[in-house]
Amino acid sequence: MNNLLIAQSGGPSVAINATVGGAVEYGLISGKIDRIFGAVHGIKGVLEDHLIPLHSVLSSPEKMTLLCHTPAAALGSCRYKLNDYRQDETDYETIIQVFRRHNIRYFIYIGGNDSMDTVLKLSDYCREKGINDIFVMGAPKTIDNDLAQTDHCPGFGSAAKYIATTFSELERDRAVYDDKNVTIVEVMGRDAGWLTAAAALSRGNGSHGPDLLYLCEQPLEPSDFVKQVKQKLSETTSVMVAVSEGIKNSAGHYLSEECQSGAADNFGHQYIAGAGRVLEGLVRDEIGCKVRAIELNLMQRCSSRIASATDLYESRMLGMKALSRALEGGSGEMACIRRIVNLPYEVSYDTADIRDIANHVKNVPASWILPDGKGVTREMIDYLYPLIQGEVPLSFEHGIPAHLKLF
Amino acid sequence: MNNLLIAQSGGPSVAINATVGGAVEYGLISGKIDRIFGAVHGIKGVLEDHLIPLHSVLSSPEKMTLLCHTPAAALGSCRYKLNDYRQDETDYETIIQVFRRHNIRYFIYIGGNDSMDTVLKLSDYCREKGINDIFVMGAPKTIDNDLAQTDHCPGFGSAAKYIATTFSELERDRAVYDDKNVTIVEVMGRDAGWLTAAAALSRGNGSHGPDLLYLCEQPLEPSDFVKQVKQKLSETTSVMVAVSEGIKNSAGHYLSEECQSGAADNFGHQYIAGAGRVLEGLVRDEIGCKVRAIELNLMQRCSSRIASATDLYESRMLGMKALSRALEGGSGEMACIRRIVNLPYEVSYDTADIRDIANHVKNVPASWILPDGKGVTREMIDYLYPLIQGEVPLSFEHGIPAHLKLF
C-alpha cells in the first residue's frame, strides 16, 4: 500500500483547504496512491495517530468544492516545533511508526515558516537514517506572503482582496460626512508589509485609496506621523491611513509596545493596544479631530466570501504540485509559484529546496516603498494586482455561507 | 413643475442607497413627477441648496443597479438637528425657499431616529404655516433596527447577515487549535441588542454559534461574566462571546466607561477601550487563558459584499412606498414594514404617523432574551431568520466591488 498523509499548520487562511483539495484530487487520479489520510492538528495529530480517511470523507464533488470554499484549516492546525533530532529522536521515531502503521509514504505539510521547519527536519531525519521510501514535501500557505522562493503564497491573494475591498467600503463610509476625520486601519503583518500594501488596490474601483500607507519595513516616528496626518487634513476632509501591526519607530521598538507600557485602569487591568490604537491616541491628543482606529483582525484571514479565485486556483495547483513531486521521489522541498508575466498574468509551478525557505522571511523590497507614508510604487501594484482577480461563487445555507467540517 | 427631493441622514448602511433607488424608480414611472433631485449631506445640503439632478445622473439601468449595491450613503449624510420652529424659523424659511426655487413638492428623508425628528418638525411647520402643497415623508434606515412602528429597518438585515457570517467564519478560525481560548466579539448597538442577537444566526450552516450572548438590554456584572466564561471553558475548548457595545453593569454604567476611567499610558495618552476590550482584560487577569477581543466596527455597516437580498429589496420598496404615499397627499409619516407571516416570509408596506416614531427607541423584548448570556429564544430567531435570506450578485472592477459615486 502506498498511502498519502496531508496536514495543515500555522495560522488559518481562506486558501489552505484548497491545497488539501488539490493534493487529494491529484492522489485520486495519479493511480499511485491507495489511501489518503489527513492528520488532525498538524504534526501533533501525526504524533497522536489522529488521522481522518480523506478518501472516503471527501467522496463527492460537492464536499470537495465545499472544502475548498471553507475558511481556516479544516484539518485543524498547531504550533508545534520538532526538537533537533540529534538531541532527541523521540518525536521522529513516533512519526515514522505512525507512518509505517498506515503505510504512509508521502507526507505533505501545508503551512508557513514554522511548518517548513518541520518539513526540513523530518526530511533531513529520513535521509540521515536511510529511510528512502518516505517523501516529505511542503506546500506554502501564509496570508503574510513572507515565504522565500515562491513568488507569492496561498492565502495572501484572498486576504489582499479582503483588505482592498474593505478599504474601498470604509472610504465610502467615511466620505458621507463633511467634517474632518481620520481613520486608521491596522493590517496584519508583524515582519512584512505585503498585506498593508494591498490597501492601495482599493483604487481599482475608482476609490481615492489610503492617504497614508505605513509598511513595517520602514520605521515611523510618532512626530512624523502627526506631521503627515496634519498635512493630509489640510488637503482633504477624510484621511484614511493603513498601517502594519508590526510598525516600529526608528529605535526599532514596536509602536504598540513603546507608547503604552504601564497603561492600566482604575482596577489595575492592563490594556494591550495595537499600533492603530496608539496612532489613534496621537491624533486625538495632538490634532484633536474626529479619529477612529479599526483593526481588521481575524476577519482578514477568514473572510471566504471575498476570496480571490486566482488564489484558490493556485492553492489547489500547489497541493497537486507538492504530491506530483513527491511521487517523482522529491523530499525536503516546497511547491512554489514562479511568475512569468504580470499582465496577462502567467505563472508556472515548481519546487524549491526547503533549506532556502525554512526560517527565512521575505520582506517587501525597499525600492517598492515610497517614503513618508506616500505609498508603494507601480512595481508593487503590478505585482499585487493579478493576485486579487476573480470571485468565488459560494453556496449558502440558511442565509450564510456553507462550510465543511472534517472533525 | 412637480419635483421630488430625496436626502439621506444618520449613520451609513448597505441598504440606504436602495431606498433612493426605489423612490427614483417610482418617481420616473408615476407620471406625476417632473424632476428628481438629491440633496448632498442631508438637510444641510437642502439648507445650502446643494442639489444633484438624480433624473439625469441615474439615467441607465447599470447606474441604478450600481447605486443600490454601493454601501454607505451615496448622497452623503449629516447629523444636523433642526431647532424648534417656535423659537427659530430661520432654517425652515431657508428650506421652503429652496423647495420653491426648485419646485419641490415632495421631500423624502431617509434615516433613523434623528432624521425622523427632522421629518416631524418640517411637516409640523408646513401644517402650522398652511403650506399644503409640500409633502414630507420619512423612509426608515438604521442597522440598529430600533425604529418604532416598523417591523424592522432597512440596513439591519444586511448587517445581521454580515454578523452571522462573520461569527461562523471566526468560529472556523478559532477551532483550528486545541488549546483553551476565548474570543470576545463586540457588536454595534448602544441602546438595542438586535445586532448582537443576530450572532445566533451563525448556527444556520451547522456552526456551534456563540457560547455566550450579552445584549445591552440586560445588565452584566463583570463577576458574573467571569463565572460564566469559566463554566463554558470547562465544557469546550474555544469559547465565543458576542456582546453589545452598549452593555452596562447593574448600576447602569457602561462597562466601557466604568472599568477604565483614568487608564493612561506612560506618555499620558488616554485609551478609550470598548466593552469587548474591557471583557478581554477581565479574562486575561481573572482566568489567564488565551483571549482576543474583536470589534466588528464599521465593517458591519458597510460590507455590501454580504448584503441580504431581502434587505435590499425591502429598502427599495420602502422608497417607493414613501413616495407613493406622498403623491396621495401624505405628510409627516414614515414608510414601514408590517410582518404578516415569518415562514413563508410575507410582509406588507404601510406608513405610520411620524409622531409615534421620532425620538422613540424599540428595544429587544425582555421575553426574547435568555438570562446569564444563554442567548435568545426561538421567537427571536424566527423574527431574525427571514431578514438575512438571499444574496446580491455584485459586479467587480479590477478585483474589488464596483461602487457608484454621486458627488
Q: How far apart are CA B106 and CA B327, in angstroms?
A: 8
Taking CA atoms, what residue in B is nearest to A9? B176
Query: Are B263 and A259 in contact (CB < 8 Å)?
Result: no
Look at residue A264 in the predicted model and tell me its pLDDT.
52
- Segments in B204-254 forming alpha helices (H): 222-235
- Structural domains of chain B ordered from first start: 3-142+304-359+391-401 (3.40.50.450), 156-302 (3.40.50.460)
Using CA atoms, how far apart are residues A131 and A114, in angstroms rounded to an integer? 23
Between A and B, how many residue pairs show a Cβ–Cβ distance under 8 A?
240
Q: Say if the Cβ atoms of A298 and B305 lie within 8 Å.
A: no
Question: Contact A41/B178, CB-based, under 8 Å?
Answer: yes
Catalytic annotation, pick one of B124, B144, B146, B311: B144
> Cβ(B338)–Cβ(B352) under 8 Å?
no
ipTM: 0.96
pLDDT for position A141: 96
Distance from CA of B37 to the nearest CA of A (A): 17
**Which residues of chain A are modeled with pLDDT < 70?**
258-273
B292-333 tens-digit pLDDT: 999 999 999 999 999 999 999 999 999 999 999 999 999 999
* Grid coordinates of B75: 448622497
Residue A13 contacts B where some CB pair is shorter than 8 Å: no
Nearest to B242 by CA among B170, B156, B302, B325: B170
Q: Please, are residues A336 and A150 in contact by the beta-carbon 8 Å criterion?
A: yes
Query: For residue B12, is the peptide bond before it cis, meaning its omega torsion is within 30 degrees of 0?
Result: no
Best A205, A253, A292 member to test B by mutation, with max B CBs in 10 Å, is A205
The conformational region for residue A359 under phi > 0 = left, psi -120 to 50 = alpha, else beta, is: left
pLDDT digits (tens, 9 = 90+) for B63-85: 999 999 999 999 999 989 999 99
* Cα atoms in the 13 Å half-sphere on the side-chain side of B241: 32
Q: Which of A91, A114, A117, A144 is an active site residue?
A: A144
CA-CA-CA-CA torsion sign (A15, A16, A20, A23): positive
pLDDT 10s digits, A215-252: 999 999 999 999 999 999 999 999 999 999 999 999 99
- Cell 506612560 belongs to which residue? B266
Give the residue among A404, A405, A391 at the shortest CA–CA distance from A65. A404
| Cis status of the peptide bond prior to A12, with omega within 30 of 0 | no
- Active-site residue, A144 included: yes
Q: What residue of A is the nearest CA neighbor of B77?
A: A176
Of B278, B297, B388, the CB nearest to A294: B297
- Work out the minimum CA distance from A132 to partner chain B, whole angstroms: 32
B400 touches chain A (CB under 8 A): yes
Determine contact: A285 vs chain B, CB below 8 A: yes
Average pLDDT, consecutive stretches of 10 residues, N- to C-terminus, chain B (407 residues): 96 97 97 98 98 95 97 96 96 98 98 95 98 98 96 98 98 95 96 97 97 97 97 97 96 77 50 82 94 96 97 98 98 98 97 95 97 97 98 97 96
Window 118-147 of A: residues touching B by CB (8 A cutoff) are: none
A157: enclosing H helix or E strand: helix A156-174
Query: Do B154 and B318 meet the contact criterion of CB atoms below 8 Å apart?
Result: yes
